[in-house]
Structure 1
Amino acid sequence: MSSVRNARVLFNSHPESYPIPGETIVYDTTKTIDLQSIPLNGGFLIKTLVLSVDPFLRYRMNPGVDDHMGSFRIGAPLDGFGIGVVLRSETPEVQAGESLNNSIWTVFQEYTVYPALGELQILKKHPKLPLSVYLGAAGMPGQTAYLGWKAYADAKPGEVAFVTTGAGAVGSIVIQLAKQAGMKVIASAGSEEKVEFMRSLGADVAFNYKTTDTRKILEKEGPINVFWDHIGGEITDAGIEFAADGARILSVGYISGLNSSTGWPQIKKFHLVGLKSLHIHGILVTPLLEIPGYLEEFYEVMPRKLVSGEIKYVEDLTMGLDQVGEVMLAVLKGTNKGKAVVVVAEE
């Protein structure tokens, strides 16, 4: 029997602003594993294939996170969404060679023993879709977009939608869902290249929020009936200010405050929520997956639409577990192009 490397990505320190690759996040190759003899104790051994790098990982780098996700522990591996292949199994429901994706966290290391199937799911992959897409448009981001829109948008033809980070993994799908619902779509992103991408998805008004005044765009093109927001702060205030009476505000993220050392930006226009009878819904994918029929509908509809091209997607694939820190920084600075996925290994 012989051991092989079991590289991992460790959380090393709490960042004050952007995480620093090699300091906040450290690639470690000191651990080994014997794939044939390591005890499974009724569980199974997974080889990690692909990992998702998402903005919420930065939130978990803050100390004292006490919600359902929790803070990362100093000295422990990161964990998040991922897909792996089963190498050995003592769990009756899981067979060697099957691919598993997770609705709990995948450890950011090459090999991991899991004690039981739990919320891990055997992946039923469409033969024409790459595995990595099940971390993006056919995975958690796609579920967030499709199921959040289904549950709360109440879209009507001729209405106006405003989508922030419209070139991202979630926002890009929301643009397409809104257009398919017959809406006029306003969308923002942080570069001219991303603006062109949003136009290619059908956005009627696409702009760079870093060089264009969001308020002026919304004042001209609104009022807004559905506001899909990933940013928070001043952008949220602008969306509320130019919302139509009875508009639906779907709050998905708060990226403007993720890397701030001064805390979360405050909303100054909240008094308009009552005056305009606005409906605010927080979008978290886990409760949506628990609604009867929702997950089944997603896997029935979304892979088919992705294969046919009815829903377009873009991936940003990076090779190597050692690149997680750099990819995380790119995601937080908005320099990635498409859904950020780290390819750890081939099957």
Structure 2
Amino acid sequence: MPTRNARVLFNEVPTGYPEPGKTDKYDDSQTIDLENVPLNGGFLVKILYLSIDPYMRGRMRAPTTKSYSPPFTIGEPLQNNGVGVIIRSENPDIKAGDHVHGFFPFQEYYVTANAKAYRVLPKDQNIPWSVYLGACGMTGKTAYYGWTAYAEAKKGETVFVSTGAGPVGSVVIQLAKKQGLKVIASAGSDEKVEFMKSIGADVAFNYKKESTKEVLEKNGPINIYWDHVGGQTLEAAIDAAAPYARFIECGMISQYNVSAENPPYAPKNLTQIVGKCLNLRGFLVTPLEEKYRDEFYATIPPMVAKGEIKFLEDITEGLEGTGKAIYEVQAGKNHGKSIIRVAAE
């Protein structure tokens, strides 16, 4: 019996912000025979949740433009981290009914034989499956790996976290507070400011209403800056940095959707990097995976299960909403970890 296998395809390279229904295309023309589709030693996954992350914008480019991650292919499904449940399996290590986390195309069902690319999730941690895309998944890893590897945090120091209400920034705030740091955090709405306060931020402000430069001048100097934004926010952090401050460069979303009408902002005070002996460190999760993965899973999911790490989720129902969710993440309109709920179990 054929079953619909809807997909979300990469349709065209955007200029500036991705446009829902133009950058992406929802396609429900394909079907799959769940009972008879060949597995060839692999397994059939029903995809339940898919993650929407800022870095996906960087993959929406022409193949000739080089970057650290491969570009999406026009006419093929988007791809990102997801969680699914196994329908059928010919692999002895992955059984029907198991839930797995890994990289999936944006579609409803998927057959793969690459078992090494997927982690079978524990059934006894009392954690919703979607959270393995947030605090217990890549965004939690981003916060934990980067903070553990590069913060060199000391009790009593001051950290500034931009996009502090986001899925990475909110975990960074909580890790910093547990180590006894003073936390300054920014976000783009009053609702997000209240969330940052609720998870321990000592100084939380709406950068659309208050000057980042003035807030940092008043509450700094800062010893650590966790950067998601770049541009003018990075410039303000450099001005407010103490000598030998550590800058952890996680993202620069202010630069992701630039165009002729919205050119990139170049910080004008980079000479202070020399004068203040600043350490600016860019990082990616993948190179740190082998070193910190086991430590992460032993530490963060149990904390989440006990309520010691709090999080927000922004769940969109159905693959049809993918384009809108991608745009909202780029525009900062999401409230928490952006996730597509592809299907119920």
Using structure 1 for the length normalisation, give the TM-score: 0.95
Distance 1:158 1:48 in 2: 44
Could you give the per-residue CA deviations for residues 19-48 of structure 1, whole angstroms, max 9, x where no partner exists? 111111111100111112222222221110
| RMSD (Å), alpha carbons | 1.4
User: For this pair of structures, how many residues does the alignment match?
Assistant: 342
Distance 1:247 1:274 in 2: 11
Distance 1:15 1:171 in 2: 27
Structure 1 counterpart of 2:205? 207
Aligned partner of residue 50 in structure 1, secondary structure = strand
Tell me if the contact between 1:126 and 1:303 (Cα under 8 Å) persists in the aligned partners.
no
1:5-24 to 2 correspondence within 5 Å? 5-24=4-23
Structure 2 counterpart of 1:332? 330
1:150-161 to 2 correspondence within 5 Å? 150-161=148-159
Distance 1:277 1:304 in 2: 38
Distance 2:146 2:124 in 1: 23
Tell me if the contact between 1:159 and 1:183 (Cα under 8 Å) persists in the aligned partners.
yes
1:177-326 to 2 correspondence within 5 Å? 177-262=175-260, 264-291=264-291, 294-326=292-324
Deviation at 1:265, TM superposition (A): 3.4
Deviation at 1:323, TM superposition (A): 0.9
Deviation at 1:227, TM superposition (A): 0.2
Structure 1 counterpart of 2:33? 34
CA spacing shift, 1:126–1:260, aligned 2, 3 Å: farther
Structure 2 counterpart of 1:53? 52
Tell me if the contact between 1:240 and 1:269 (Cα under 8 Å) persists in the aligned partners.
yes
Tell me if the contact between 2:125 and 2:302 (Cα under 8 Å) persists in the aligned partners.
no
Deviation at 1:220, TM superposition (A): 1.2
Tell me if the contact between 1:42 and 1:116 (Cα under 8 Å) persists in the aligned partners.
no
Distance 2:110 2:65 in 1: 25
Distance 1:86 1:140 in 2: 21
Q: Structure 2: state its 5+ residue gaps.
A: none
Distance 1:75 1:16 in 2: 18
Distance 1:114 1:265 in 2: 43
Tell me if the contact between 2:163 and 2:169 (Cα under 8 Å) persists in the aligned partners.
yes
Could you give the per-residue CA deviations for residues 136-156 of structure 1, whole angstroms, max 9, x where no partner exists? 001110111112111111111
Deviation at 1:5, TM superposition (A): 0.5
Tell me if the contact between 1:250 and 1:282 (Cα under 8 Å) persists in the aligned partners.
yes
Aligned partner of residue 115 in structure 2, secondary structure = coil
1:221 partner amino acid: N
Q: Structure 1: state its 5+ residue gaps.
A: none
Aligned partner of residue 116 in structure 2, secondary structure = coil
